[in-house]
Amino acid sequence: MKKTNHVLHLILTLLTGGLWLFVWISLVVVRRKIPGVNVVRVAHRELGEAAPDRDPNDLDYGYAYAWRLPQPPQLGDRVYVESGSPAVVVGFGSNYRGELASVARFASPAEIAASTQKVNADRDTWLSMARRAADLPTNGSVPSNVPDGYPEVAPTDGVATAGDADSYGRMWWRAYKAAEEAEWPVGEVQRFRSIAHRWYAIRDKGGNV
């Protein structure tokens, strides 16, 4: 796909007193609609991670890629892009006007299943560490190192600056949402939520150091 020379079109627009602007716009629109090349927007996510809950019509959200696969794209499709990164389709069309890399292929059911298993295992490991910190019962031994992509488990109470309290609150809020997603008993889920709110209250007061 040949890139539109926007500098040249800008010069022509200025030289023609703005008349060339209509030609410039028409070329950009046509470029978006080249037959056989659809533009999709993706979010880079592990195959087992939940898709982001965003408006699919928001043309500024997600990364634009050319779709040249024989099957038409669908929202929620799990794919790999040219770089080899896993992603999920979150929308169609884009305001981006640069050159586009392509979606390389669909992820296989086996790849999705394996990633989902790992994502859930990492989540459960981290939540077990949070359970121990929150004085909730745990089953078996609990690892001391957090999985990749997860924050260190914050204290449940104590003194902190406003900045630290905000960080602690966000960690416990994430744990609350993860426990909710894992369908924990309501009382245990609310335990994490109350810890998060306690830290947010300290943050809002400017800390308690």
- Asked whether the predicted pLDDT for residue 153 surpasses 90, the reply is yes
Most confident of 13-17, 34-38, 48-52: 48-52
pTM for this model (two decimals): 0.68
pLDDT of residue 31: 43
- 184 within 8 A of 138, measured Cβ to Cβ: no
Q: Which two tokens stand for residue 187?
A: 């009382």
- Only one residue has tokens 């982001």, namely 52
Maximum Cα–Cα distance across the chain:
76
Rounded to the nearest integer, the mean pLDDT of the chain is: 87
pLDDT tens digit sequence for 83-116: 999 999 999 998 888 889 999 999 999 999 999 9
- Asked whether the predicted pLDDT for residue 46 surpasses 60, the reply is yes
- Only one residue has tokens 């037959």, namely 35
- 103 within 8 A of 83, measured Cβ to Cβ: no
Residues facing residue 79 across a β-bridge: 87, 106
Closest C-alpha to 118, from 76, 90, 83, 149: 149
- Boundaries of every domain in the chain: 1-33, 36-107, 111-204
